[in-house]
Amino acid sequence: MEAQEAEHLLNHLGIPDPFSSRYSPRGIFCTRTLNLRSISAIGYDMDYTLMHYNVAKGMMVKMDVYSIHVIYALTYHLNHLVNSKDGTLVLLFWAYDYCMDNLKNMGFPVDGLSFDPELVIRGLVIDKEKGNLVKADRFGYVKRAMHGTTMLSTQTLSEMYGRELVDLRKESRWEFLNTLFSVSEAVAYMQLVDRLDEGAIATDLGPLDYKGLYKAVGKALFRAHVEGQLKSEIMSKPELFVEPDPELPLALLDQKEAGKKLLLITNSDYHYTEKMMQHSFNRFLPNDMTWRDLFDIVIVSARKPEFFQMAHPMYEVVTGEGLMRPCFKANSGGVYSGGSAQMVEKSLGIQGDEILYVGDHIYTDVSQSKVHLRWRTALICRELEEEYSALVHSRGHRTTLIELINQKELVGDLFNQLRLALQRRSKGRPAQTLAATHMDDKELNESIQKLLIVMQRLDNKIGPMMESDGELFNKRWGFLSRAGLWDKSHLMRQIEKYADIYTSRVSNFLHYTPFMYFRAQEQTLAHDSYSFHHPNHQDADEEQ
């Protein structure tokens, strides 16, 4: 009764209950139970975690420096860019264009190539031995693959990977695409695989195989330089690039006022961090607060993932111009460069699962803080909103597909029973049922032939529907989190393994309280069907 009254009061106050947020693209989803009341400090990454970038404005400003093929690609995909508001594409376009310019200077044939944002998604894996891009399920089995820019058939896929599993520990062969730069790199690489197969790459570049080609593309995309160029442009006019989020500072303010110590731990340098945080936070905070008032400790130039793995010298930023001095302990309200996670723990007097770290990079932010320090973790995955909407709009398609598969299973079971009846009859043994035993050979064979036709017709419907499942998210690769109709993708396995909670943006915390108890949903098992009582079956005790 008290619970019912609490629910009525929540409704009266206009506050959604905590369970309804699960059914929203802005929800926070839990893989391992997390009680925020037990969290003493929350650390945040900055780029693509606390800050996202506005594609429509930023890309329009930079059109004058893009080559014609990039402008064409942008125009073609403009509707996608505006609807998804995925700021990551700014960096993808820039990184790709920079990479292609360098490859051209190195002598590679790149004329006519343009960036295709639909060609590659995060979570895929490059097979550097075969020149393929693959999508694997949670066990490492390859479910879809592309050689160059051509998708491989199911038969080719089976012949090529039927005996192999994707093993990310074998770094010499497999490259996991979990960063923005790696997506740009993969687009360039897959396009050049086509040129290599065509024999269009000059022999004076050396005898290149697929591995050598990958190294050449990686050399052309010098990450540090292109990122530095991009950040200089953003700093000059942040209002043209940064996507404002008025809810974000308020979500962090709730956490701070609830007694959480807030940390900013970013690989960006001091000047960029100061400029961008000031622009994104100060105007939305009350009572003349600034972003610095929110955070107990700020770490810039953190050098993640090494920040979580080993100790580096730490320097305190002592002037607004960024001048620094060596130090050995971080104090509340300070801004520091370098250091290590252990230094932060020592300064706060807390460690391990008392700290929640929130970032967008599955390796640099989430897995390393989890593996080395046992911090609790939250992953920011902006594509989640687009995927959630695509899943909602695909419900009818997936329901119809499952119905057809169930029909085929029924027809197939009958087909197998009749085959078994014929097999037993040839050995002089009765079928499993009297009805099948009494059917003559002609009737059995005619029924089997009819069922074969029915199954073929069902296959003709199921096959194309299986291939198109997930195309509302990406026509080539389907959903980010799924590998086929029934299973999770390799990326989703990584998220479940390392992220306690995941969501599309930090401001989603505003729809919860800083005392929220995130409870993981029950993980169903293959034998959990015992809990569903079939009306035609009696309980074991009733039979006895």
Let me know: does 315 contact 360? Beta carbons within 8 Å: no
Give the residue carrying structure tokens 């004058």: 64
| 47 annotated among ligand-binding-site residues | yes
Q: Which amino acid is at 424?
A: R
What angle is formed at CA 58 by the lines to CA 57 and CA 61, rounded to 5 degrees?
Answer: 85
Instruction: Measure Cα distances from 242 to 142, 180, 236, 279 in Å.
Output: 37, 17, 12, 9
Distance CA 212, CA 214 (A): 5
| Alpha-carbon 132 to chain mean position | 20
Nearest to 266 by CA among 50, 45, 41, 506: 45
* φ and ψ of 174, to 5 deg: -105, 135
Distance CA 74, CA 64 (A): 12
Instruction: Measure Cα distances from 191 to 104, 116, 130 in Å.
Output: 13, 10, 14
- Strands 324-327 and 261-265, bridge-based pairing: unpaired
**Coil, strand, or helix at residue 287?**
coil
Token pair of 280 as six digits: 């994104």
User: Is the alpha carbon torsion for 473, 476, 83, 57 positive or negative?
Assistant: positive
Catalytic residue among 17, 47, 197, 459: 47
45 is catalytic: yes
Token pair of 489 as six digits: 């993708």
Let me know: does 366 contact 356? Beta carbons within 8 Å: no
| 45 annotated among ligand-binding-site residues | yes
Burial of 183 (0-12, 13-18, 19+ CB in 10 A): buried
Let me know: does 417 contact 447? Beta carbons within 8 Å: no
Let me know: does 356 contact 252? Beta carbons within 8 Å: no
Catalytic residue among 17, 45, 97, 245: 45
Token pair of 292 as six digits: 């610095």
Bridge partners (DSSP) of residue 297 are 263, 334
Bridge partners (DSSP) of residue 518 are 34
The DSSP line for 444-497 is: HHHHHHHHHHHHHHHHHHHHHHHHHTTTTT-TTT--SSEETTTEEBHHHHHHHH
Q: Which amino acid is at 55?
A: V
Distance CA 96, CA 105 (A): 14
Distance CA 97, CA 325 (A): 39
- Backbone conformation region of residue 37, classed left if phi is above 0, alpha if psi is from -120 to 50, else beta: alpha
86 is catalytic: no
| 413 annotated among ligand-binding-site residues | no
Binding-site residues for Mg(2+), in ranges, read 45, 360
Residues with a catalytic annotation lie at 45, 47
Q: Residues at the annotated binding site for GMP?
A: 47
Residues that constitute the known binding site: 45, 47, 360
